Amino acid sequence: MKKLGTKKSAVAGVLAASLLIVSVLSGCGQTTAPQAQQQSASSSATPQMGGVLRTWKQYDPKSLDPTDCGDTDSYDIQQNIYDGLVMWDKSGKEIVPDLATALPTITNGGKTYTFQLRQGVTFQNGDPFTAADVVYSFNREASKSIASPGESYFSMIKGMDDVFAGKAATVSGVVEKGKYTVEFDLTQPTRTFLDVLAMPYAFIVDKKYTSALPNQGDLSLHPIGTGPFMFKEWKKGQVIKLVRNPHYFLKDAQGRQLPYMDGITWTLGYGNSVAYLKFKDKKQDFSLIPTSDYVSTLNDPNMKNDITSLVENDYFYIGGNIKKAPWNNKLVRQAMEYAIDKDALVKLYNKRIVPAWSILPPNMPGYQENPSGYKYDPAKAKELLKQAGYPNGLPGVHPMVYVKNDIRDVLAANIQAQLAAVGIKISLDGVPFPKYLDVVTKGQEDMVYGGWMQDYPDPDDFLNILFNSNQIPSNNNVGYSNPAVDKQLNQLASVTDLQKAIPGYQAVEKQILDDAAIVPLYHDKEAYLIQPWVHNSQLHPVYPYFYYWTMWIDQKAEQAATKG
C-alpha cells in the first residue's frame, strides 16, 4: 500500500502485518471467514476466544483517519477499525464484498456501479450503517478542506475532482439510491475502480458521528468504524490499544463471532533490534529479524520454526528532484543509473533483497527484468557526468532524505559511498516516517531514498500513480513529467482487459527508465517471527499485514512459555 515513502502509501520500514481474508456468501448477507493456513501442527486446534496480541511500531502512525491513510503503519491499524465496501480475498487476486452484500451490478457501458449494502451493521458507537454513510465518506474524501492525499485515486468518479478543486459542493457520481443502495457513476470505464475501492482511503466513516466532531482532525484521535476492533487509546510515542468489537458483523465458518482476540497492543518507539530481543524474551508476539541476526536465527533450533517469509510486491529507489538542478539534467540522472552496485546492497542485507533494474516487481503483471539495459559501470557514470558538464563531479553536497531505521542507515551509507566514488557527494538525512512523508509529498526533497508497496496488483499502481505528472508531488515525488508518458498512461487506465494493456505499460516503463526518472535499487524479501502460540498469522499477498480478526492465541501455551 504505499509508500515506502510516498503519497499513496509507503513502506515505513516496519512490516506491520497481514490479513487473513473473508469469503462472502452472497445473497444472504452472511459472511464467514475460512480457517487460515496453519503455521504449526498445533494450529489445527479449534480457535480460542481471548488474548491480546502484543506487537510494535518504531513510530507513531501518521493518522487514524482514512482520508489520511497514505502509509503502511496507519493502514495496519485502521484496517481493524474500519471497513470498506469491498476488500481483497486471501489469494490477493480477487476482490470480494465487505460492507457490500455482493460485488456491484455494472451497467452503462462499464461506467455505473451499483452496490447493495449489508443491513443490520452498526458502527462501534451503535449508529446504524446506511448508504448515507457511504455518500458522506466519499464527499469527505473529496473535500478541499480535508485535502486527502488519496483523493486522486478516485478521479474516475464524476464530480470527485470538482469538489476537491472547490468547483462543486458535492460529488455528483456517488448517489444514495435507497437506504441500503449506493450508485457510483464514472467518467469512463476504469479497469482499476474496484481495486481502489479496496484501499483504505475508501473506508467508510459514521456520518452522524464524524460530521458532529468539533474539528475533523479529531477523527484521527477518536476513530469510530464498523471494523473488528475498537479504538481504546493512543499515547503518542508509547502505545496504541484496540479492543474487540463485540458487535462485528463477521462470523467464522462454524458460526463463531469474530474476532477471536480480545485486543491488539502496539508498543511504540523502538526499532527492529529491540523488537527482536523482546521477541526472544517472549515479551512480544511479532518481530522482524535484524540483518545482523538473520543467519543465526535461521540456524537457531528454538527460533527457526517461528520464521515466515514473504517476497513483497514493492521496490526501493533513489532519485533526485527533477524540478531542481542538477537533477533536471537527464545525463546526471543517467549517471546515477550506472553508479550503484546493487549486488553490494544485496550482500549487505544478507541476501534478503533482490536487485531491481525495473520499477515493476517480479510478481507484478508486466514485469520486465531490465527494460533499459542499465548495469553497474562507474566509468560510464563518470563519462555521463562529464557530458553533462561536470568533469570533476557535481558541485556541493546533496542531502538525501529517507526513513531512518537500522538497515536503511547501513544501505544509505553504502549508497553514499558508491555515489561519492563517481563524483556525486550526498549527505544522509534519516528521519522518522511521518516527517519523511511530509517532506516528499510536498516535493521539498533534494534527493530521496524511498520505496513503494503495491496497493493493487496492476501496473497502473506503480506507473500511473508514481510517474503521471498529475501525481506531482503527492505520489510523483521526484517531479517527473513527460507528456507522452502521461497521455499513454491515461489511455491505458481505461483499457478494460489488463492483458491487452500490458504491452503499453511495458513501453511506458522503459521510457520512464530511459529518462532515468529514478534509480531502482531492490525488491524486499521479508522475513518475520511469530510466536508459536499465535495462529492464523499468514501474511496477505497484496498488503504485508495480518488479518487480525481471524488470528487467535493459544493462551495456555502462551502462559506456559512465558511463566517465570
Residue 540: pLDDT above 90? no
pLDDT at position 294 is 85
The answer to whether the CB of 382 falls within 8 A of the CB of 424 is: no
**Considering only CA atoms, which of 326, 353, 320, 357 is closest in space to residue 340?**
357
Question: What average pLDDT does this structure show over 217-236?
Answer: 96
Residue 203: pLDDT above 80? yes
Which whole-number Å values give the CA distances from 268 to 56, 106, 275, 450, in the listed order? Answer: 6, 44, 10, 22
pLDDT at position 541 is 61
pLDDT: which is higher, 527 or 415 = 415
Identity of the amino acid at 455: D
If pLDDT is split at 50, 70 and 90, which confidence band does 313 have? confident
pLDDT at position 298 is 86
Whose grid coordinates read 537533477? 327
From the CB of residue 290, how many other CB atoms can be counted at a distance below 10 Å? 19
508's enclosing H/E stretch is helix 498-514
pLDDT at position 278 is 96
Widest CA span in the chain: 72
The answer to whether the CB of 199 falls within 8 A of the CB of 456 is: yes
pLDDT: which is higher, 193 or 34 = 193
Question: What average pLDDT does this structure show over 38-45?
Answer: 43
pLDDT at position 201 is 95
The pLDDT > 90 percentage for the chain reads 74
Whose grid coordinates read 454513510? 133
pLDDT at position 4 is 43
DSSP 10: B
**Considering only CA atoms, which of 315, 288, 285, 318 is closest in space to residue 58?**
288
The answer to whether the CB of 518 falls within 8 A of the CB of 275 is: no
Rg (CA), the chain: 23
Q: What are the residues facing 286 on neighbouring strands? A: 530
Residue 494: pLDDT above 90? no
Q: Is the peptide bond before 391 cis (omega within 30 degrees of 0)?
A: no
pLDDT: which is higher, 75 or 43 = 75
pLDDT at position 20 is 27
Q: What is the C-alpha separation between 360 and 507, in angstroms, rounded?
A: 12
Give the tens place of pLDDT for each residue, 452-488.
988 888 999 999 999 999 999 989 999 999 999 999 9
CA 116 to chain centre: 28
Q: What is the torsion angle, in degrees rounded to the nearest 10, for the CA atoms of residue 502, residue 506, residue 512 and residue 514? A: -170
Task: Lowest mean pLDDT of 6-15, 268-277, 533-542, name the range.
Answer: 6-15
Which whole-number Å values give the CA distances from 410 to 293, 350, 428, 431, 448, in the listed order? Answer: 15, 12, 11, 14, 15
If pLDDT is split at 50, 70 and 90, which confidence band does 16 have? very low
If pLDDT is split at 50, 70 and 90, which confidence band does 38 have? very low
Task: Lowest mean pLDDT of 77-81, 95-99, 207-211, 494-498, name the range.
Answer: 494-498
> In terms of DSSP bridges, do strands 52-57 and 263-268 run parallel, antiparallel, or are they unpaired?
parallel
pLDDT: which is higher, 291 or 44 = 291
Task: Lowest mean pLDDT of 317-326, 344-353, 516-525, name the range.
Answer: 344-353
pLDDT at position 288 is 87
Q: What is the C-alpha separation between 293 and 273, in angstroms, rounded?
A: 9
Q: What is the C-alpha separation between 355 and 359, in angstroms, rounded?
A: 11
Q: Phi and psi at residue 371, in whole multiples of 5°? A: -65, -25
User: 32-36, 71-75, 207-211, 544-548: which has the highest mean pLDDT?
Assistant: 207-211
pLDDT at position 307 is 84
pTM: 0.75
pLDDT at position 538 is 73
If pLDDT is split at 50, 70 and 90, which confidence band does 527 have? confident
Residue 267: pLDDT above 50? yes
From the CB of residue 484, how many other CB atoms can be counted at a distance below 10 Å? 9
Question: How many residues are recorded in the chain?
Answer: 564
Number of H helices, E strands in the chain: 17, 23
Task: Lowest mean pLDDT of 113-122, 244-253, 303-312, 426-435, name the range.
Answer: 303-312
pLDDT at position 544 is 64
Q: What is the C-alpha separation between 469 and 485, in angstroms, rounded?
A: 9
Q: What is the torsion angle, in degrees rounded to the nearest 10, for the CA atoms of residue 2, residue 532, residue 258 and residue 76? A: -20
Q: What is the C-alpha separation between 506 and 441, in angstroms, rounded?
A: 26
527's enclosing H/E stretch is strand 519-530
